Amino acid sequence: MSVTELDIRLDAAPPPLALAKAALFLDLDGTLAPIAARPQDVVPDPRRTGILDKLMTGLEGRLAVVSGRTLSDIDRILESRVPAVAAVHGLVLRDVDGVIRQAKPHPALPEAVAALRLLAAAHPGMLVEDKTLSATLHYRGAPEQGQAARMEAERIAARTGLALQPGDMVVELRTPGPTKGDSVEAFLAHAPFTGATPVFLGDDLTDEDGFAAAQRLGGYGVLVGPARATAARLRLDDVNAALAWLEAAR
């Protein structure tokens, strides 16, 4: 019996992933790799790389990484094992042939970066990441400043027209454009993904568009982490559980 034929609760153990007809879409931070205090602290891992190599073979190329990170950062961490990548939440898309399409940066991004850096300078532990197409304020090192970070991001978004993307201990101001869900749909429209059942693994609020797209297109989402309100149909406890589930896929 397939996953789509089961009435699955988020607290139920997910059945093994069958690779034959699946198209797999994977978030990175909090899904394939533990979240680190600083983005640059996430590095390549032999276990993760080995899993991706196995999945690429078993899925016959129907594997894509869909992440908020930049394309270069994804390739660094995953050792360039996955050709199909949607970076910066879908604003950059590289297909299986290596062709890259990306949105045009919003003209207000330099202003947003400057404003976020001004806030970060006043609160040690905050970190600003300029991704060219978005500006991210990480406050994991200053969690007590979460409300201030969100309020400042909301003010900037209202003033500039940038899209506000909340996340796990981050706020991101991004160029309006494609989402993770749009990326799933774009990949499925072309070989080798065409006709496959989409499965999306993710942990954060930024992955909800991906879960919803997978469900809408005949597949399902898998939440990695504690149970919460979500469009995902399955849940895995943490990164280690997600890696083990992927290792067991056949």
List residues with catalytic annotation: 27
Stated as kind and residue range, the H or E segment containing 25 is: strand 22-26
In contact, 26 and 52? CB cutoff 8 Å: no
SS3 175: coil
Q: How far apart are CA 247 and CA 38, in angstroms?
A: 27
In contact, 208 and 32? CB cutoff 8 Å: no
Q: How far apart are CA 9 and CA 70, in angstroms?
A: 33
Q: How far apart are CA 156 and CA 209, in angstroms?
A: 23
- Alpha carbon of residue 45 to chain centroid: 18
Q: How far apart are CA 44 and CA 55, in angstroms?
A: 17
In contact, 26 and 17? CB cutoff 8 Å: no
Q: How far apart are CA 110 and CA 175, in angstroms?
A: 12
List, edge to edge, every strand of the sheet that includes 127-130.
127-130, 134-138, 170-174, 163-167
Residue type, 128: V
Residue 227 tokens, joined: 């149970």
